[in-house]
Amino acid sequence: MALCVHSFRSTTIDTAISSQFFSSEPSLILVQNLNINIYRITDKNDLDIFTTIPLWYAVRHLQTYRPPGLSRDYLFVVLQDDTYFTLYWDEDFQKVNVDHPPLRYRVSFPWCRFAKSYCLVDKRMRMIFLSIDEAFMLCINVLSAEERQKSGNSIDDGFPISFPVHLIYDICLLNYPKIPTLVVLHSEGIESAITAFPIDVESKNLENGIRLFESVLPSKILPFGKRGLLVLDKRSIHCFYRGGIVTIESPPTVYNHWVSLEGYENHFIVSDINGNFYAIYSSILAGKLWNLTFEKLEISPVTCITSLVSLNDSLLFIGSHGNCSKLISLRDLSDIFVLPSLGPIHDINIYSNDQSQGMLVCAGTFYNASLLYYKHALSMKVLGFYECSGIVRIMVLSSHPVDKLFIVFVDETFVFDLKEGLHLEFVPEMSIKERTIALSGTDNQFIQVTSRSLRIYDSTNLPKAIHLEKITNASCYQDYSAIVIGGLELVIFQKDTEISRTKFDSEISCLEMASESKIAIGFWSKEVLIYSFMINSKSGRVFKSKISSLPRNVILEHLDPEMSLFLVSYGDGFLVSYVLSKNDLIFTEVKKLGTTPIIFSRLSVHVGTYIICNNDQPHMVYGFNGTLGYMPLNMPVSYDVCQFSIKLGTNGIVAVSSKGISFLELDSSPHLYASKFPLSQVPLRAVMLDEILITINLHPHSEGTDGFTEKYSLSLLDFFSGKQLEKYDFPLQNRCEEILRIDKETVIVAINNYQPHDLFPLNGKLLLYRFIPKLTILNCINTFQVAAAVSCLAVYERGFIASFGQFVGFFDIINGKMELKKKFCVGNLISQIIIDEEKNILVGDVVGFITVLRLENRNFAMYTRYYLGERVINALCFEKNKYIFASDSGILHILRLDNISHSERRNGHSRLIAESQYRLHDRVTRFCLNTMPQTFYPVKTLESRLYFGTIKGAFGSIFSLNSNIDEFDELAKKIRQLELSYLPTADFESIEEEESNEIPFVNGDIITDTRNWSSTQIIRLCRLLEHVEHLNSHEKVRMLLDEVQLLS
């Protein structure tokens, strides 16, 4: 059994409309994932969420209509499971209700799943038109008030009509016709035609078509004015209006979306496939004379547009799948609100380096491409901020009833009481005209080392000052202070009494007093030591080490009475760690944490003390199972941090940057965060060689018009910065499909030769590259031509497996040359290859067959086949003999391969068994096996197996459930029942029955949604679970909910 949960959900917009759904003011309605989100438009033109309507299936169409006699709109919702239903807002109970229950309007066939579908609403004629297939359309009547009273619904079940034309490219409804009229752009041989079809509502048939246009190549048609028509051709625009035709020139492009502007007559905004925007409008000159104007709008291009919505005369919403969706002011074409989106995820790789472990993700489209480095990190919630410049350091003195905050400048120190609500109250009697270097103690009695003196405060806050010359550094511990005089001399005080003085041969660069008897010291001579001293006893060195660079900071922390952690930082982000047992070195390692010097500070929590390593890549260091753990921190950029008290059970951090002081609260649970590097080209695949990244890139190549063709290249990038080091371009006709790392210096690249207007590539080629680290270049040393397109590559022993066309072949690499040893034909075009640890080769094809092969004596042997029923687009082996396959329709299939013996193979026994399936409602573009230990997961119950990315830019994980299987399944079902409570019980039970599996695949997203639930909703959930033994109390339910929350 498995559980699927998203760490980052898609922010793409499937569709968007404007409607007066809950008030007389227009609202913006967005379909995102499996939710209909309804937003208010505030007076400041901000989007304010009003309500969310959960769904059980992805939306195909969303339209609005208004039943006669009502002042509010209804929603007509069409789902991709071929059902439709209607919703309205119940003003009395302030909730969404179902008007027409879900009704299946057609029989689904695989070949019509991706056929273009249309849904149109004639608000004047009160009719809804919905595509059934390529030839039939369902006509649904909006009922009058009397008919609605009798039937209880606002619409009828409709009647079908059949078009006498086929291969329809576009459909629109004429405005204000005498009878409903559909205008169809359709195929007419090798060209296109436009025909108008009036609908005889009485006889429920189409009247004879009226041919409006012949031998044209338009891309879009839209109604214009009263019974007029606008035809958007690839090179011109034609307008039928007021008994005449006007034709104007337009850019050579293909248009895909349009919207009529609210508040204007005959004003339109249209978009093309390249993401550009244009305005089309007309003006009356005199009588029947009128003109037509076309102009390009200065709006940044948006790729993969899904919808255009005019909210009023000044606001335009642009929804997108592959780019950022945004709300635009039409007055100055500026962005008011931007909804970020990653775009499609093309590749996922696990990486591990000195900084951390994480995932490298290639994502995006033209104008929105990026590399993303995902890693789990502890987050910081910003509690408050004070703007101030020139601060050198920040220090906190623990005291009662409030902490004291020391803000240090170059020549002075200001002290504040840190009061409730992060209010700062100035303490003038403790503020001085000296720079504070070190501080220790409590409010009743503390010591302070400044640039010119040692100051001891007692309970009366009257300081006793000991003036010292040439103080260069200092550190304090309780009532002890270690002060560096003149760079060479170390003087130790207990309160105001000098107890030790030592002069060293080399200048001290940094020091830290860790206890009343030990000091960690770094020297300009590139040495570090731990210095031990005792009162009235001989001092000495207990540990000394030569290092390769100048120590910038040191810290010594006692993990337990016998073990110590000694950390040293260099100026370029390197961290040297020593673990000492009774002063003997037992472990050392070097890590690179960022590129700037590391500043150490302690964070005391209830389980012990952690070390914060703060620089441009902040981390937290802690002891873990006898070794050291490094957890990234997601916090604002700062150059000094320290801990302060908020309240019991919480951890506060105060951080200083060039802009001022931030007060932060540490979240003790790690979350997934991303560092993003924007790119000018789209990264499709990536492999890592040492600290160099090799990516396959897609570039938009201009052909001298507004259109683009694809151009591919290989790039060498610096792993940490994303900076391009080298680039290798391929010819225009070569499409680079895959890259495979063989070893740390060898990669295989697959390219296919596409000619213009070809449906399939002519042939493919394999390129063998050697990476030369010293020169940071790739050298192509061998090529191999194949007779079909290469689709997949996979490592097999010392060689590799490649699929080309219907063939799968085994290649060996001998003396820098690729040799095809054996090949096998599976009968269909291959789309995916899996090779598991037992060397089973699973081949998925575009028809839906999965073929299991093995190489026996260098010959391919077929063991079994399994028919999945639809095209396999991605696959992975995630457990022994268990595989996950992603299909074109967004379903994840888990299959199990039984042990195969030769005798069973000869008997023809099928050994691939379907275990479970899960409808993701999104198409998986990449799987990646998890190879990193996740210490923060509750591993007894959940174990992360793999990650996946989708075409909509979502990122998630699939976990194996080792226990609590029935509890997770029942919990998800009851949450779903509450979310879909607006549905009639019979409809909900029917939906559950359709999606049930013998072996459940749990929807973790529906569980994580409860984080925003009210206490009333949680109580209702607990009542539904009273019959489950392990979930029959509020505490048990909350524990299981929290467990899944951690995963996202």
- The secondary structure of 991-1034 as a DSSP string is HHHHT--SS-EEEHHHHHGGGG--HHHHHHHHHHTTTSGGGSSH
CB-CB contact of 479 with 441 (8 Å): yes
pLDDT given at position 111: 47
Q: What class has domain 169-297?
A: mainly beta
Burial of residue 108, with CB atoms counted within 10 A of its CB: 0-12 exposed, 13-18 middle, 19 or more buried = exposed
DSSP state of 101: P
The reply to whether domains 169-297 and 681-825 share a CATH topology is yes
pLDDT given at position 1048: 62
Element (H, E) at 965: helix 965-979
Q: Cβ–Cβ contacts within 10 Å for residue 385, how many? A: 16
pLDDT given at position 52: 93
Q: At what angle do helices 985-994 and 965-979 cross, to 10 degrees?
A: 140
* Distance from C-alpha of 383 to C-alpha of 580, rounded to nearest angstrom: 38
CATH-assigned architecture of domain 681-825: 7 Propeller (2.130)
CB-CB contact of 606 with 631 (8 Å): no
Residues 6+ apart with CB under 8 A from 918: 2, 4, 891, 892, 1001, 1003
- pTM (two decimals): 0.83
- From 55, 268, 60, 69, select the one nearest 149 (Cα to Cα): 69
pLDDT given at position 944: 60
CB-CB contact of 967 with 1030 (8 Å): yes
Instruction: Give the CA-trace dihedral at 147, 150, 154, 156, to 10 degrees.
Output: -80
Residue 711 structure tokens:
């151009």
* Distance from C-alpha of 44 to C-alpha of 267, rounded to nearest angstrom: 25
Residue 563 structure tokens:
């073990």
Over the chain (1048 residues), what is each successive 10-residue block's mean pLDDT?
84 94 91 93 87 93 93 94 93 91 74 72 88 87 91 91 87 88 87 89 86 82 89 87 83 90 89 91 72 90 93 92 91 90 92 72 91 83 90 86 89 91 89 93 82 85 85 92 94 89 92 89 92 70 85 87 85 87 79 87 79 88 69 86 77 90 83 83 91 87 59 89 88 89 93 75 90 90 94 92 95 93 94 92 94 89 90 90 91 84 52 88 91 49 75 88 78 90 89 77 86 84 84 79 71
Q: Cβ–Cβ contacts within 10 Å for residue 700, how many? A: 18
DSSP state of 282: E
* Distance from C-alpha of 343 to C-alpha of 368, rounded to nearest angstrom: 7
* Distance from C-alpha of 556 to C-alpha of 565, rounded to nearest angstrom: 6
Pairing of strands 2-8, 763-772: unpaired
* Distance from C-alpha of 896 to C-alpha of 275, rounded to nearest angstrom: 44
In which residue are the tokens 């001998």 written? 814
Instruction: Report residue 332 CA to chain centroid gap.
Output: 31
pLDDT given at position 907: 52
In which residue are the tokens 């780019």 written? 323
pLDDT given at position 938: 42
Parse the chain into domains and list their residue ranges.
Answer: 169-297, 681-825, 964-1045
Instruction: Report residue 686 CA to chain centroid gap.
Output: 18
Rg of the chain over Cα atoms, rounded to whole angstroms, equals 34
Which 3 state secondary structure label does DSSP give 72?
coil
Burial of residue 795, with CB atoms counted within 10 A of its CB: 0-12 exposed, 13-18 middle, 19 or more buried = middle
pLDDT given at position 648: 59
